[in-house]
Amino acid sequence: MGRSDLFVQVVAQGLAMGAVYALIALGYVMIFKAVGVFNFAQGDFMMAGCFLGLWLVSTGTIPLFAALVLAVLLSAALGVIVEIVAFHPLLESPSRSYLMCTIAVGIIFREVAKMRFGADPLRFPNYLGHGVIKVGGAGLSVQYIWITTVAAVVVVLLLWFFKRTKVGKAMRAVSEDREVARLMGIDTDFNMRLTYAISSALGAMAGVLIAPVFFAFSEMGRSFGLRAFSSFVLGGTDSIVGAVIGGLLIGLMENLAGVYISTQYKDVVSFVVLIAVLVWRPTGLFGERGEQRAG
C-alpha cells in the first residue's frame, strides 16, 4: 500500500466513523435546540437501540432487516416514554435538574443493559456483508460505504423535514420560543415527544450501523457518545449542518492523527482541536445561540 493509498484508506475510515458520530450528534442537537440542555443519555439511547435490535434478531421470528427497522422504531417509542416519565416533569425546572436527569437515565440504561445482556461485548449479525472495494491499494469496506450512505440520506431527509414540512417547521418554532409556539396553536408537548423520538431513533440507527463491526456492549454509548458529543460542540450545538461537519471532522482528525502522529495521541488531538476551535469561536463552527445571547 503506497502513501496515497494509505491516505485514501485513512480518510475513508475517518469519514465513515465521522458519519456515525454525526448521526449521534444530531440527536444532541435536537434536544439542545428544544430544551437548551445537553442530553447526556443520547449515547445510551444508541446503545439501547443496538440491544433492542439484537434482542429482536435473537427471537428469530422476524426477518433481519425488519428487526433492525423495528429496533429503530422501538427506540423512538422508548425516547417518547422516557420523555414523558423522566424529562417532561422537569421541563420548567432549572436546567441543571434536567441535565442531572439525563445523566441518571443514561446510568439506568447502562445498568439495565448490563443486567440483561452482561458486561461483555456481544456479536451483532453482519447484515451488510463484508465485501471490500479495492481502490488502488486501499480497501474500502462495503459496510463503511453503507454507513456513510445511510447517514447522508438521513441528514438530507432531516434537513428536508425541518425546511419543508409543517411539523418540522413547528419543531423549529418550538425550539426558538416555546410560549409563542403555543400561541400559534402548536402542541408543544407533542413536539417535545417527537423530538425525543427522532433523536433516539438517530442514535439507534447509529447503533445498528456500527454494531456489526464494533459489537454491542453496554458501555458503547459512552465511548461513541463522547466523540459524538465533541462533534456536537465543535459544530456549534444548535446546527444540523454543524453537527454533520463536526462529526466528519472528529472522525477524520482522530484517524489521521492515529496514523500520521501516534495512536497514543489520537484522542488528544481531537480534543486539542476542539478546544482550539472553541477558544477561537466560542459558539463552535456553525453555532448561533451564543451570538443571540450576546445580542
Partner 1 sequence: MLKLENVYAGYGERLVLEGINLEVGDSEIVCLIGANGAGKTTTLKTIMGLVRPQKGQVNFNGDMLATQPVNRIVQAGISMAPEGRRVFGKMTVLENLEMGAYLRKDPIGQDIEEVYRLFPVLKERAKQPARVLSGGEQQMLAIGRALMAKPKLLLLDEPSMGLAPLMVEKIFEIIRRIWKTGTAILLVEQNAAMALEVSQRGYVMETGKIAMEGSAAELRRNPNVRKAFLGRAGERR
Partner 2 sequence: MMRKLVGIALCGLMVSTLFLSACSSAPKEVKIGLVVPLSGGSAGPGINLQRGVMLAAEDMNAKGGIKGMQVKVLSEDDESNPVKTVNAVKKLIYEDKAVVVIGSNASSCTLAAMDVAAKAKVPLITPSSSSDEITRQGNKYIFRVTASNSTQANALVDYAVQQLGLKKMAIVYASDDYGTNAKEAVVARLATHGLTPLAVEAFQPKDKDLSSQLTKVKATGAEGLFFLAMYDPCALAAKTLQQMGYMPQIMGLGALTNVRLVELAGDAAMGIINTQMYVPEGKTEADKAFIEKYKAKYNTLPDYYVALAYDSMMVAAKAIERAGSLDPQKIRDELAKTKDHPGLGGNLTFDETGDVQRSVKIVKVVGVNPPKYEVVWPK
Site residues for partner 1, 161-190, by CB under 8 A, read 166, 169-170, 172-173, 176-177, 179-187
Distance CA 106, CA 271 (A): 23
Distance CA 178, CA 173 (A): 7
Q: Does 144 bind partner 2 (CB under 8 A)?
A: yes
Q: Tell me: does residue 259 bind partner 2 (CB under 8 A).
A: yes
CB of 156 to partner 2, least distance (A): 25
Binding site partner of 184, from partner 1, partner 2, none, Cβ cut-off 5-8 A by kind: partner 1
Among 84, 214, 288, 290, binds partner 2 (CB under 8 A): 214
β partners of residue 122:
216
97 counts as binding partner 2 under rule CB under 8 A:
no
Using CA atoms, how far residue 75 sits from 44, 71, 152, 204, 254, in Å, is: 11, 6, 20, 6, 29
| 168 in contact with partner 2 (CB under 8 A) | no
Number of Cβ within a 10 Å radius of residue 271: 15
Amino acid at 235: G
SS3 135: strand
Closer CB to partner 2, residue 32 or residue 224?
A: 224
DSSP 43-101: HHHHHHHHHHHHHHHHH-SS-HHHHHHHHHHHHHHHHHHHIIIIIGGGTTS-HHHHHHH
Q: Please name the residue ranges forming H helices in the chain.
A: 3-35, 42-59, 64-82, 95-117, 142-164, 166-176, 178-183, 188-214, 220-235, 240-260, 266-280, 289-294
Contact 72, 205 (CB under 8 A): yes
* Residue 165 or 263 having the CB closest to partner 2: 263
Q: Which of residues 200-239 bind partner 1 (CB under 8 A)?
A: none
| Contact flag: residue 126 with partner 2 (CB under 8 A) | yes
The CB-of-274 to partner 1 minimum distance in angstroms stands at: 25
Determine if 197 is a binding residue for partner 1 (CB under 8 A): no
Q: How far apart are CB 238 and partner 1 at their closest, in Å?
A: 9
Q: Catalog residues that contact partner 1 under the rule CB under 8 A.
A: 166, 169-170, 172-173, 176-177, 179-187, 288, 292
Binding site for partner 2 (CB under 8 A): 1, 6, 9-10, 13, 17, 119-123, 126, 130, 132, 134, 139, 141, 143-144, 212-215, 220, 223-224, 254-255, 257-259, 263-264, 266
